[in-house]
Chain A
Amino acid sequence: MNPKVLILTGVGINSNRELAETFELAGATAEQVHISVLEDTPEKALDYQLIAFPGGFSYGDHIASGKILGNLLKFKLGDTLKELASRSVPMIGICNGFQILVKLGLLPQMGGEVIQEASLIQNNSGQYEDRWVNLKVSDEARAKSPWFKDLESLRCPVRHGEGKLVLGSKDDLARLQASGQIALRYTKEGEPTDEYPYNPNGSWDAIAGITDPSGLIFGLMPHPEVAIHGTQLPDWTRLEQVPTHTDCLKLFSNIVNYLK
């Protein structure tokens, strides 16, 4: 049977439709579930084998991106989230979804506890931008996380104003590096970079995506779910052979296959 994926919607989430289509294409059954349903019946989330937090502007990013919805989940769905984690249910947070997971404390969980350890703050440029970036998958992530099987690099767009990943201190960064939780880095000519616009926001250590210690909960600022079809590439008209699907689809089929 196809694994069932919960795609969270509502209160300003806006990338749910394409994320659902992508999971379907990858072989899952994706259901878009409005946050109001989960507020009333949190246990409904336990029917799913994967929870996806799409991008968007939950609560308009007022106060800080992902903060208010993160809080809502924490206070209204805290027990359910704990239960999901204890069942090792994979999760993905993309863009605003990533911000939510970070503010909520599900990522990175370096200390094993669900408390906020990192943040995603305003881009160095001070503005929202939609541009394509190149990402390198870390060896550690490929080795331990089912999301990254056989993946070396990815191309997809960033679309955010608050995507600069920072930690409380450089010591914390060293811990994150040592724990092998850094999954994706922005690159220029294949190497991680601090240079704008290749690193579009000034993230520490060029970090674009991280996982929890288990490798099952994964969050990233870029949007792989809109880089699935060959004709979504920004320069596909220059290619001799336009691929039907891109490597970004593998990210999703990897986790679906893991669940099958």
Chain B
Amino acid sequence: MYYRIETTLKQQYPDPLGGKVQSSVHNDLNLDIPEIRACKVLGLLGNFSEEEARLVATELFCDPIVEDLSFAGDLDYLSHSAEATHAVEVSFLSGVTDNTARSAKESIEYLLNRDLSEHDHVFSSTVYLINANKLNENDFHRICEEILYNSVIEKIEVLTIEDYQQGKRFTPFEAPPEIPTPATKDIAIAQLDKDELVKLSSKMCLALSREEMLAIQEHYQTDITISHREKLGLPLEPTDVELEAIAQTWSEHCKHKIFAANVKYEDESGQVESIQSLFKTMIYEPTAEIMKKRDDISSVFSDNAGAFHFDDNWDICIKAETHNSPSALDPYGGAMTGIVGVNRDVMGTGRGFLPIFNTDVFCFGPPNYDGDLPGMLHHPKRIFRGVHRGVKDGGNESGIPTVNGSISFDDRFIGKPLVFCGTGGIAPRDLHEKPVVEKWINPGDRVVMLGGLIGKDGIHGATFSSEGLSSASPTSAVQIGDPITQKRMTDFLIEARTRNLYNFITDNGAGGLSSSLGEMAEECGGVELDLTNAPLKYPGLAPWEIFLSEAQERMSLAVPPEKLDTFMELAEDMKVIATDLGQFDDTGFLNIFHGGKQVASLCMDFLHNGLPTLELKAKWTPPQNPEASDADLPELCQDLAEKVISRYNICSKEDWVRQYDHEVQGMSVIKPFSGIKHDAPSDAAVIRPDYKTNKGLAISHGLLPRYSDIDTYHMTCNVFDEAIRSIVCVGGDRSSALGLDNFCWPDPVQSSKTPDGTYKMAQLVRANKALRDMALKYNVPCISGKDSMKNDFISEDKKISIPPTLLFTAVGTVPEITKSISMDFKKAGDVIILLGETKDELGASEFYDEIGYLGMNIPQVDTSSALERYDSFFKASQDSLISSAHDLSEGGLLVALAESCFGARMGANITLPKNGLNIIRNLFSESASRILVSVQADKVNEFKAHFEGQSFAILGEVSQEYKLNINESSLNLQGLYTAWRNPIAEI
């Protein structure tokens, strides 16, 4: 039987969900429409009696206090929205994860006290009641398309109220069609020429180059391969499972081919340098060098996340990922899977860490963008809202606090938004008498997949993210996460870890089982899998799809055979799906069976080492941009200050950040916002991972995409320095700092699609050189990182490349949390001091951009003086001499002063140092390594003693009056606050 249950808030309660839609319609489309109300719908199809359906309606679905209920799908829309002219139903496309329906189904089983069968279906949808009287057809269409639903994952149906009054109703939900399991196919490649191989790669969405296709063709023609396949009765051509698995393993996303390439780099003087792998020479080797000098690092590069010793009892690991392409197509689902995915990285590090904090950094097109949006691109506002909501739901529902992040804007991010999601995790240093970072697989260990069901979601995610975004991008690459399924899995894993039930664990991320099991098989030398019993969301998946699916919330484990029963029983008790898929061995092959038949036998050595090395060219030609002379610079005035402080990259992000839970788990010490009204932005987070001690962990980051337009070398130095400086500012010990590098680059491989490839590659080389130089000078290793190398949007006549972007995330310990420092001024009369030297460095600054310049005089990091300053600062902070400290970043001194004033709701009287720079350069230059501090008057001498011989300037003092007086100018702080607070409060 089919039942449609509908509920909606009783008329007397305002409807916030409808209100949200209404305000989006107003903000995005500039249309004003009367009240919108939303109705929730649950569909039941299958073996349900009417009595049972009524029970579901009254006991589960409807809140009797506030909602009206219709059991037969005939909710009286008109009595809930007298003026509605249209009812619009939004429901998921068949096969898309419907979390509400999944939870409802489980609850129905409790309620009816019986198990539902695969023929019992539950659906959910939302109906919006809209008055479209004042709208033309196009406007109504835009509301549907741009606000109410996303055609990648959802469908809509519209009923007019006349239709409704005449008895017409929404189309009943339908059971998904029964699809037979497609058989494994052989792919004929032996006879193809080079061009045909490339065509095949493109047709199958393999993202493999000509050389790579040729290497595969050659491998299948070797005598060893032929005799091996003949022995097993396998076809001599690759099966689809094999070809897809190779493409997946060899994808840029998984193999980091560009970072592993041989590069010929030519600098501006024509000197040519050969670099064998940027990763090896610029990241791995410097880290290895630094590790010789430090004893606090427990795991680097070899695992899903890097880990270090936080104290004698705990290890902490940290990892950041990007999820750019999925977020461009489905901002909500793409971003959510980004955050819950990186959570799994942490859970799959060592023998399992428990996530304790998240970070998120987004890069979007500007919310007020009014230029063309080619093809499938969503407006930046919609991407912003969706990405934010996805990360918010993912983090909040998982119970992991979001402690640090930022949002950055540039026109070039309209083609591809950047969504960086990071997570830190904690675990006891030793577990069952071995370091927790150690894991191993013995031949004979069982292969167990844990977590959610496998569907078509996310197929080709890894190969897709290894290509530019275009209208041909597969929409199945999108997935929706289910944080609750993952939370259950986390609870289970901690229990299983405590009971020592497994040897090895890793995440199923990009590439799904093919990636996780491919890597795991390397540990012991082979694996034999039977995919027949893999748990599916719906029938009809081909074996290669099961193997590659990126359906979320799954992890792969190696469980010793003697512990398998206990493991499986515990999983059943805790309602986590666990499936035994086979056995690890040392045959040197990845053998896969399905339905009693072998469908793949891949040589591990070829799979992991058969990939040809890329040869790339890089040529550095510095850009040339004019500089503004003093005469070109405007005078300081209220209006100018408001313009700068209201810029998207500077203004307050509070309304968005408040929607993240930053306090769950109870560890917060320095929160995202500081000050008397909790609205001034902190430089870094401080958390207290173990409440039994006073030791803290500071978390920060640096990100400056526009700096890349002048020189990625200095861009990198600045983001590195900013991340470390922020840790110093909150009272962290920089000698304990560790970093993560996340590169997001436009395609740097020279081709007809990318005629400026050698320049973009040179930008990548220069960024890596800077990363090496900074790491060695600061003695801060990169303990983990990731790269995303194809961040271009390509349509027929347009290519939009992102500015080369490096997110540098840093963590460092805070020896004594009660000595942490916040950025808000504290008391009138406190002395304001600027540490570090302001130079003529407006290049790529926010101020320059405001007045239409890019310039060349980009800030340069003087590492020696910076380190000396940071060390003195740390000592002064441990002597409790510093009342407030704020990092100078985008917008320079003026913005730092204003924000520290906002925090206290106090003012400042400032006299700028006589350093030969005019007032504008003093206030807006973004010179690196500077910190604005305030110090109690009676402690100034002691404070100064720490900085003897170093560059600092006493600027003035904190005042009671809410005004920022600078030399002869006086700025109204209330006006600055309003300009700063509101630009993206509502979008």
Q: Is chain B a partner of chain A in the same complex? A: yes
Q: Considering the chains assembled together, what is the distance between the CA atoms of A208 and B710 in angstroms?
A: 54
Chain B contacts for A130, CB-based, 8 A: 658-663
Q: Is the CB of B659 within 8 A of A129?
A: yes
Q: Is the CB of B100 within 8 A of A63?
A: yes
- Given A34-B491, A71-B111, A129-B658, are A231 and B396 neighbors across the interface (CB < 8 Å)? no
Chain A contacts for B818, CB-based, 8 A: 231, 242
A251 CB to closest chain B CB (Å) equals 15
Q: Which residue of B lies closest to A166 (CB)?
A: B66
Q: Considering the chains assembled together, what is the distance between the CA atoms of A72 and B107 in angstroms?
A: 7
A24-66 interface (Cβ within 8 A of B): 34, 36-37, 40, 55-57, 59-64
Q: Is the CB of A76 within 8 A of B822?
A: no
Q: Considering the chains assembled together, what is the distance between the CA atoms of A146 and B60 in angstroms?
A: 34
Q: Is the CB of A36 within 8 A of B669?
A: no
29 contacts between A and B (CB under 8 A): A9-B491, A10-B491, A17-B666, A22-B666, A57-B397, A59-B103, A60-B482, A62-B99, A62-B102, A63-B100, A64-B63, A71-B111, A119-B66, A122-B17, A127-B659, A129-B658, A130-B660, A130-B662, A159-B663, A166-B66, A226-B665, A226-B666, A229-B691, A231-B669, A231-B820, A237-B824, A237-B884, A238-B676, A242-B818
Residue from B65, B663, B688, B826 within 8 A of A168 (CB atoms): B65
- Given A36-B573, A119-B65, A126-B19, are A11 and B110 neighbors across the interface (CB < 8 Å)? no
The answer, yes or no, to whether A167 is at the interface (CB within 8 Å) is yes
Q: Is the CB of A57 within 8 A of B483?
A: yes
Q: Is the CB of A226 within 8 A of B663?
A: yes
Chain A contacts for B66, CB-based, 8 A: 119, 121, 166
Q: Is the CB of A60 within 8 A of B484?
A: yes
Chain A contacts for B822, CB-based, 8 A: 237-238
Interface size of A as a range: 35 or more
Q: Which residue of A lies closest to B825 (CB)?
A: A238
Q: Considering the chains assembled together, what is the distance between the CA atoms of A157 and B666 in angstroms?
A: 11
Q: Considering the chains assembled together, what is the distance between the CA atoms of A111 and B45 in angstroms?
A: 37
The answer, yes or no, to whether B34 is at the interface (CB within 8 Å) is no
- Given A71-B60, A130-B658, are A12 and B397 neighbors across the interface (CB < 8 Å)? yes
B134-169 interface (Cβ within 8 A of A): none
Q: Which residue of A lies closest to B64 (CB)?
A: A116
A122-144 interface (Cβ within 8 A of B): 122-132
The answer, yes or no, to whether B381 is at the interface (CB within 8 Å) is no
Q: Is the CB of B491 within 8 A of A57?
A: no
A229 CB to closest chain B CB (Å) equals 7
Q: Considering the chains assembled together, what is the distance between the CA atoms of A127 and B487 in angstroms?
A: 22
- Given A11-B484, A57-B396, are A123 and B16 neighbors across the interface (CB < 8 Å)? yes
Residue from A34, A229, A235 within 8 A of B676 (CB atoms): A235
Chain A contacts for B670, CB-based, 8 A: 237
B55 CB to closest chain A CB (Å) equals 11
B399-420 interface (Cβ within 8 A of A): 399
- Given contact pairs A64-B63, A130-B658, A166-B65, enumerate 16 new A-B contacts (beta carbons under 8 Å): A11-B575, A21-B666, A22-B666, A57-B483, A57-B487, A62-B100, A63-B61, A68-B104, A116-B65, A121-B9, A127-B16, A128-B661, A130-B661, A130-B662, A131-B678, A157-B663
The answer, yes or no, to whether A67 is at the interface (CB within 8 Å) is yes
Produce 1/0 per residue, B663-685, CB < 8 A to A. Answer: 11110111101111010000000
Q: Considering the chains assembled together, what is the distance between the CA atoms of A166 and B14 in angstroms?
A: 12
Which among A9, A103, A124, A229 has the greatest number of chain B C-beta atoms within 10 A?
A229
Which among B14, B60, B63 has the greatest number of chain A C-beta atoms within 10 A?
B63
The answer, yes or no, to whether A228 is at the interface (CB within 8 Å) is yes
Chain B contacts for A168, CB-based, 8 A: 65
Chain A contacts for B673, CB-based, 8 A: 234
Q: Is the CB of A128 within 8 A of B392?
A: yes
The answer, yes or no, to whether B196 is at the interface (CB within 8 Å) is no
Chain A contacts for B660, CB-based, 8 A: 130
Q: Is the CB of A71 within 8 A of B59?
A: yes
The answer, yes or no, to whether A14 is at the interface (CB within 8 Å) is yes
The answer, yes or no, to whether B398 is at the interface (CB within 8 Å) is yes
The answer, yes or no, to whether B817 is at the interface (CB within 8 Å) is yes
Q: Considering the chains assembled together, what is the distance between the CA atoms of A229 and B59 in angstroms?
A: 41
Chain B contacts for A234, CB-based, 8 A: 671, 673-674, 678
Q: Which residue of A lies closest to B488 (CB)?
A: A11
The answer, yes or no, to whether B183 is at the interface (CB within 8 Å) is no
Q: Considering the chains assembled together, what is the distance between the CA atoms of A12 and B491 in angstroms?
A: 9
The answer, yes or no, to whether A216 is at the interface (CB within 8 Å) is no
Q: Considering the chains assembled together, what is the distance between the CA atoms of A220 and B987 in angstroms?
A: 32
Residue from B16, B103, B678 within 8 A of A126 (CB atoms): B16
Q: Is the CB of B666 within 8 A of A225?
A: yes
Which among A56, A72, A225 has the greatest number of chain B C-beta atoms within 10 A?
A56
The answer, yes or no, to whether B462 is at the interface (CB within 8 Å) is no
Residue from A17, A36, A122 within 8 A of B16 (CB atoms): A122
Q: Considering the chains assembled together, what is the distance between the CA atoms of A98 and B111 in angstroms?
A: 21
Q: Is the CB of A59 within 8 A of B396?
A: no
Chain B contacts for A124, CB-based, 8 A: 14, 16
Q: Considering the chains assembled together, what is the distance between the CA atoms of A79 and B689 in angstroms?
A: 39
Q: Is the CB of B483 within 8 A of A60?
A: yes
Q: Closest 8 A-B residue pairs measured CB to CB?
A: A14-B399, A18-B666, A126-B16, A62-B103, A237-B822, A226-B666, A119-B65, A60-B484
Which among A60, A103, A117 has the greatest number of chain B C-beta atoms within 10 A?
A60
Q: Is the CB of A71 within 8 A of B669?
A: no
Q: Is the CB of A232 within 8 A of B666?
A: yes
Q: Considering the chains assembled together, what is the distance between the CA atoms of A12 and B396 in angstroms?
A: 10
Q: Is the CB of A72 within 8 A of B110?
A: yes
The answer, yes or no, to whether B255 is at the interface (CB within 8 Å) is no
- Given A34-B574, A60-B397, A242-B818, are A68 and B107 neighbors across the interface (CB < 8 Å)? yes
A119 CB to closest chain B CB (Å) equals 4
B386 CB to closest chain A CB (Å) equals 14
Chain A contacts for B113, CB-based, 8 A: 75
The answer, yes or no, to whether B106 is at the interface (CB within 8 Å) is yes
Q: Considering the chains assembled together, what is the distance between the CA atoms of A9 and B399 in angstroms?
A: 12
Which among A59, A121, A129, A238 has the greatest number of chain B C-beta atoms within 10 A?
A238
The answer, yes or no, to whether B20 is at the interface (CB within 8 Å) is yes
The answer, yes or no, to whether A223 is at the interface (CB within 8 Å) is yes
Q: Is the CB of B688 within 8 A of A68?
A: no
Residue from A13, A123, A127, A231 within 8 A of B688 (CB atoms): A231
The answer, yes or no, to whether A109 is at the interface (CB within 8 Å) is no
B122 CB to closest chain A CB (Å) equals 11
A202 CB to closest chain B CB (Å) equals 9
The answer, yes or no, to whether A203 is at the interface (CB within 8 Å) is no
Chain B contacts for A128, CB-based, 8 A: 392, 396, 659, 661
A249 CB to closest chain B CB (Å) equals 12
A187 CB to closest chain B CB (Å) equals 16
The answer, yes or no, to whether A118 is at the interface (CB within 8 Å) is yes
Q: Considering the chains assembled together, what is the distance between the CA atoms of A67 and B65 in angstroms?
A: 13
Q: Considering the chains assembled together, what is the distance between the CA atoms of A125 and B276 in angstroms?
A: 55
Chain A contacts for B663, CB-based, 8 A: 130, 157, 159, 223, 226, 232
The answer, yes or no, to whether A15 is at the interface (CB within 8 Å) is yes
Q: Is the CB of B399 within 8 A of A15?
A: yes
The answer, yes or no, to whether B320 is at the interface (CB within 8 Å) is no
Q: Which residue of B lies closest to A73 (CB)?
A: B110
Produce 1/0 per residue, A206-232, CB < 8 A to B. Answer: 000000000000000001011011011
Chain A contacts for B99, CB-based, 8 A: 60, 62
Q: Which residue of B lies closest to A60 (CB)?
A: B484
B69 CB to closest chain A CB (Å) equals 13
Q: Is the CB of A231 within 8 A of B817?
A: yes
Produce 1/0 per residue, B265-276, CB < 8 A to A. Answer: 000000000000
Chain B contacts for A119, CB-based, 8 A: 63, 65-66
Chain B contacts for A60, CB-based, 8 A: 99-100, 103, 397, 482-484
Q: Considering the chains assembled together, what is the distance between the CA atoms of A226 and B401 in angstroms?
A: 12
Residue from A40, A56, A62 within 8 A of B399 (CB atoms): A56
Q: Is the CB of B110 within 8 A of A71?
A: yes
Q: Considering the chains assembled together, what is the distance between the CA atoms of A121 and B20 in angstroms?
A: 15
A183 CB to closest chain B CB (Å) equals 20
Q: Considering the chains assembled together, what is the distance between the CA atoms of A63 and B675 in angstroms?
A: 38
- Given A57-B483, A131-B658, A166-B65, are A126 and B110 neighbors across the interface (CB < 8 Å)? no
